[in-house]
Structures are given as C-alpha cells and as structure tokens.
Amino acid sequence: MSQQEFYLDSNATTVVLPPIADAVMTALTQEFGNPSSSHVTGIRAKARMERTRALARQVMGAENGEVIFTSGATEGIQTAVISALQSAKRRPMPEKPLLLYGATEHKAVPETLKHWARLLDVPAEVRAIPVDHRGRLDLDFIAAHVDRALMVCTMAVNNETGCFQDLRALEQVIRTGNPQVPWMVDCVQALGKLPLALSSTTIDYAPFSGHKLYAPKGIGWLYVREGAGLTPVIAGGGQEGGLRSGTENGAGIAALEVLFGLMLADDSTFADHATLLDYRAQLVATLTRVFPDLVFNQDHSCSVPTTLNFSVPGFSSKELMDLFDAAGIRVSSGSACSSKVTRSFVLDAMGLPAWQSESAIRLSFGPAMTAPELKAVCERIDTAVSALATSCLLESEHDAEKFGLKGLIQFKAGSSCCWLYVDPDSDHCVVVDPVDSLNERLERLIRCQDLTPVAILDTHGHADHVSSGVALREALSDRIPPFLMEVDALGWPNACGSRRTLADGQVMPALVLGESVLVRVPLPGHTDDSVGLFLSRNEGDTLLSEDLDFAFCGDTILMGSLGRTNFSNSQPQALYHSLNQLSVWLSPDTLICPSHDYHHQFATSLAAEQREGGLLAQVLSGGMAEEAFLSAKAELDRGLCDQPGTELMCGATPTQTSVAVAELSGQELCQWRSEGRRMSVLDIREPHEFALSPTQGADNVPLSRLVNFMAQQRYRLDSDPVVLICRSGSRSLLASQSLRRLGINNILHVAGGHALS
C-alpha cells in the first residue's frame, strides 16, 4: 500500500531541493565545460566555480584561507590529517606524541588518524578526548594532554545527538597549551544550523559536505586557514591551484552555488533559529505524549534544534525503526555509517545507560522544513504509535483492533528466549523461561489480552541470579488463581495434581491449560535440576510422541549444539541419558524450543539436529557410547570462552552455516500474482507494522509467531509455494532459513522486502 513518505533522517543525507536539482541538470546539459579549458564554455564553468568559492567564504565567515572543492567531508578529513601529520614529521617529535579526537567523533576521524599514522610511520597514540553526559568535550583532559598532541580533531555538531561544542572555550584551552598544534573541526552538521565565523578563529581545517544540506552527494569543500600546512592528497593535472588535482565536479559546484545563494538570501528558504526551536518543541510534545516514558539522550540546551535522539523503555531501536518505517516515517538508529542496529558508541561515550544506547532513535530534519510538513509529521507519528495497541505493546487513546494471541509466541532479549503459550480454546496461558528485561512487556500483554496465567516456569535454576519469574509472578498475582501461587523452585504449582502417561509408560506431572496440557519431565545434565516441558493439544491421559507439539528443553538442546555441562551443578553423564530419553518421548519433528538462540534459528527438532550431524546426532544414532560422549562433550565445553562483562554462554555455539533460500524480487511476486499462480504469501512483520501498511493478499504471521506457525502447518507446507515478505528482506531471510533447516523446502522470500517492491 503506497503512502506518503516523511523523511526524518536528514543528518544522514537530504533531498536535493528543486532549484538545486535544476542547477545540476543545467550544468550537466548546458554549462558542462571543463574549468581548465580556455574556450568560452570552459571560461564560464571556471567563472561559476570562482563565484561559488566566494559564496562559500561568505557562508563560512572566512575572508582568507583556502577553499578547496572536494568529493565530500571524508576526503576533506583525509587532506587535513595527512597535512597535519606531514607537518608533524618536519618538527621535533614530543615524547609520547598523541593524536587527539573527540570520543563522540564520526568514525571517519579516528579511523583516518589510525590509517595515516600507520602508513606515514608517525609513532603517535590515537587517543579519544572524553565527553560528559551531554556530549561536551572534557576541557581539563585537553589541557593535560594537548602539549603532546600532533593534531586535535573535534566536531562542531555531533551527527547523532546534535550536541554543539563551545568552540571559543576549546580554542582557548588548545591554544593556551599548544599554540601551533593543527586543529580540525568537522563542520558538516553545523552548516545551516549554527553561525560560522572561521576567520575569527584559529581553526586550521574545516571539512564540509553538500549532501547534508540539500545538495547532491559527491561534492564538498575544505576550508584551510591561512598559514596552515597543506599536503595535496590527489596529485595530477594541478587543478584547484595544485591543491586537489582532478577535473572539478561542475554539476556539484553548480549545486553549491544555488545552495549558498539560498542560505544568504534575505527571504531564505531556510527557517531561522527561532522557528527551528519551535519545530523541535512541537516534535518533543508529540513524542512525549505518545511515548510517556520516553527519555531524550541529549541536553536540548546545547544541541541544535534539528536533531532529536531518544529512547523508549521496553523497545529496541529495531522495533521502533520497523514501526516508523511501516508508517512511512524514515528515522535512524544513529549514524548512517554505523547502520547495523546495535549500541551507539556516541551514547556509550556519554556514559548513558546501556538500554538507552541499545534503544536509541535519531530523528533529524533540515532547516527547509515547513510548518505544514511538520504538522503532517506529528500526525503521522501519532498514527504510527497508536498502531502499537494492535500488538498490546503500548496503551493508546485510540481504539485499535488487537491482534489475537493464541498458540505460542516467542520473545527475545539478546540471545535469551522466553515463551508465552496461550491455549487456543481458553484464556489460560503459561510463561516459560522468563527474562527480566521482558517482564514489563509480558505483563502488559497478558493484561491487555485479559489472559489468566496458570504458571510462570523455568526449565532450570540459575546459580548466578534469582529467576525473573519471581517478580513476574508477583506483578501478575491479581490474575493468577490463588491456589496456583504456591510454587516450587522452578515455578511449578504445588497444587498441581494432574498426571499424564508418556510414550514409554512413565507417568509425569501435568498442568491443564484449557484444552491443552503441559507435562514436566526431568532432564538433568546442563544443571542437576533441569527439566523439560512438553506441550500438547491432546488432553488425553496418554501422550504419544506425535501428540507433543512443543518441547521446552531449556539449555539441554540448542540449535546445532548442546548446553554446557561444566557448571558446578552440571551432570554430563546425566545429559547423555536425558538425550536418549528425549528420543523416546519426542517425535523427530516435535519442535524443540530452547532458552537461548544464538543464530536466530527460532527452534529445532531431533530430525534437524540429526541432519546437521553434530554431537547430538551421534548420540541419537546409537553409535556413541557414554564414555565417548563424555570426552567429546568436555572438549565442546572447553571451547567456551566467557569474558568478564559479557553475556554468559550457556552452550557452545557452532559456526553458523549458510542455508540456501530461493528468492523472489518484488516484481516477480507481482508477476506471479498477475499469472494467478497458487501460493501462500506470509507477511512476517509484527501486527502493528502490518496494520499500518498491509500486504495485499497476504496473511500476517509475525516473526514472533513463526514457531507456532511451523507447528500448525508443518504437514501442509510442501504443497504450494510459501512466499515470505517483510520490511527489508532480512527477517524473511532468517525465517526462510529456519524453515528450510527444519526440512520445509517449498519456501521463498522476497529479497529487499517492501523496500524494493
């Protein structure tokens, strides 16, 4: 479904404004001369280049010094660093020399310093200047180290938080401690947002980039202070006065000419500072209304108004990006050059809590934003967040049709898995292997769906912490029947008196969940108290292996591996017998749901493990004696390397093998539809995403429900093709690989997802 796009990622790049695009096209088709040519067409091109250079000086407040056109800020940074290092090599080297840069600097700066220091054989340590919780540089640190610095690199405005530095204070401390040290200030994000007066400073180098302010990519410029050392990075025909060879980018320079004219005009296209502050206030009001618990990761008093960086408790960056994308709102999790959604090194350097770094969203707009556009943006944000009520992830003042929860739902926090099973014929549910960081979400979901928790269970005890099931049980005590509140160490209700007979005749305790039943069996090995929880839709007194839909085995079996058995309360010998016993109780295709998933494979089965041929396969084949197993298991555990401060590994993780998956393009999917081909299309985005932009002719099977879908459809998936689609193709690829691993082969995924459809 097509919808209007709201682009709020201007710190990554901006749209090219129409008059600038027109100037580019004119330069490409009519005023395309080479500025080095002596004929009239070349003379005109050179005149435009010099006009643009003069306008750049006005924009920067730089009456003197060099203005060199480049391909962008990264090239300007290279030139500045090489020039500074070459100058340093010509001077006496201080003892223990340093190359200083701000800890929140764009990665282009420290990586460039390291690269050229190594290639130019400059024996200097590249060291980060600490920042405070606002992102302001530590002036005392600079004062203590600048005398040994060969170069100092700072940022005018941070690209993730919008924090601007006090350049006058920086200048004073730098020049007091080292009057001659080369000083580079990255001015990319300052352009059009802060007044610049470079000639009144001792800044030696200032790189700029056109595409951060409505010009095309591939054009930028570098300011070099008069008297600063300058070593050309590109040699050749001697263009740019011999300071940067290569035929100049005439179309890009034409774009800058128009851009600078717009910036300097009295009736500027760009909003003034007061207007931008008002725009920010409106966005802040909208965000804090729809996300009452939202936390801003910046101090607005020292950040430009065009950048907002925030985190929402209980939501990861990826979840929020997926939500906004489904609503047609383009935001970022941080720097576009660090686009893998992980932690933000900028927020880490500021000392913010880990959850804020992991959940950060950057919303950025340009100074050409208009009041009507801003109003539409705020309305769309309201619509997007309201859709979260569909998934019971957030309360909303609007009515929303909730996505019904029946069957098995998987939740993940890092590699830890938590499972919620909702009986399809009642409102009874059970939580397996609760995770502390997911408790709030689980409680909200259970209350929103008006469910009755029968039990909150662990598959094994935890030597290093109290189970989070204790806190979740207390939080939901008003919903749990009182007679089920008294539980054992793993959460099993003491009042449970039901029992069921398994395939080998053993009778085990059972919990009845409406029309479903959950059976507990001993599975010692990973720990001495490890248990398995078998779930069946068959409520009969005897449960054969084919009656068991899911087996929650904790860390006994992991995808492609086994849980570790080198804890003080582990029993490797018992694990051997537990594995053999599982092969009696479970069918080859019973879905095994672990408490850890290190490679995003969701679930496994005995059949899948046998096909992979690991240690478990050798046990199940009957060809491995107990003694050989103990030796092989000890070797497997020796490969675990627990690092202080990192997540404790609960099992060895084999190298992930690539599973080939058939792909369709968005165009091919459309063609298949037009041809009337038989197929099932599954949109595996979460319900709130699907509600915002549904896929025509598709069923919504969220990734969190994939394991439940496997159990329901595993005997019917090899008939017609099943096509999976998501936002970008990444989730559909993971899901397809998991299905293929479990032996379901008639699966295709849409490469590029909705983004390329």
Give the residue numbers marked as catalytic: 337
Structure tokens that stand for 107 in this block: 């990665």
Q: What is the Cα–Cα distance from 150 to 565, expressed in whole angstroms?
A: 53
The answer to whether residues 66 and 200 touch, using CB atoms and an 8 Å cutoff, is no
What is the distance between the alpha carbons of residues 165 and 179, in angstroms, rounded to a whole number? 20
Helix, strand, coil percent content, the chain, rounded in steps of 5: 40, 20, 45
Q: CA of 269: how far to CAs of 278, 290, 685, in Å?
A: 17, 31, 39
Q: What beta strand segments (E) does 537-669 contain?
A: 542-543, 550-554, 557-558, 561-562, 591-594, 662-664
Query: Burial code of 708-745, b = ≥16 C-beta within 10 A, e = fewer?
Result: bbbbbbbeebeeebbbbbbbbbebbbbbbbbbbbbebe
Distance between CA atoms of 162 and 588, rounded to whole angstroms?
A: 55
Q: How far apart are CA 94 and CA 304, in angstroms?
A: 37
The three-state DSSP-derived secondary structure of 549-570 is CEEEEECCEECCEEECCCCCCC
Reading phi first (left if > 0) and then psi (alpha if -120 to 50, else beta), residue 282 is in alpha
Query: In sequence order, what are the beta bridge partners of 522?
Result: 531
Count other Cβ atoms within 10 Å, centred on residue 216.
19
User: Longest C-alpha distance within the chain, in Å?
Assistant: 98
416's enclosing H/E stretch is strand 416-422
Name every residue whose Cβ is closer than 8 Å to that of residue 750 and which is 6 or more positions away in sequence: 663, 664, 665, 666, 669, 723, 724, 725, 726, 729, 732, 757
| Beta-sheet pairing, 498-502 with 542-543 | parallel
Q: Name 520's Cβ contacts closer than 8 Å, sequence gap at least 6.
A: 492, 508, 509, 510, 511, 531, 532, 533, 534
Tokens of 515: 């029309």
∠ CA 112-118-123, rounded to 5°: 115
Q: What is the distance between the alpha carbons of residues 639 and 651, in angstroms, rounded to a whole number?
A: 10
CA distance 63 to 6: 39
Write the CB contacts of 648 (distance below 8 Å, at least 6 apart in sequence).
464, 642
Written as six digits, the tokens of 205 are 């180098």
Residue with tokens 């085995």: 553
Query: H/E element holding 733?
Result: helix 730-741
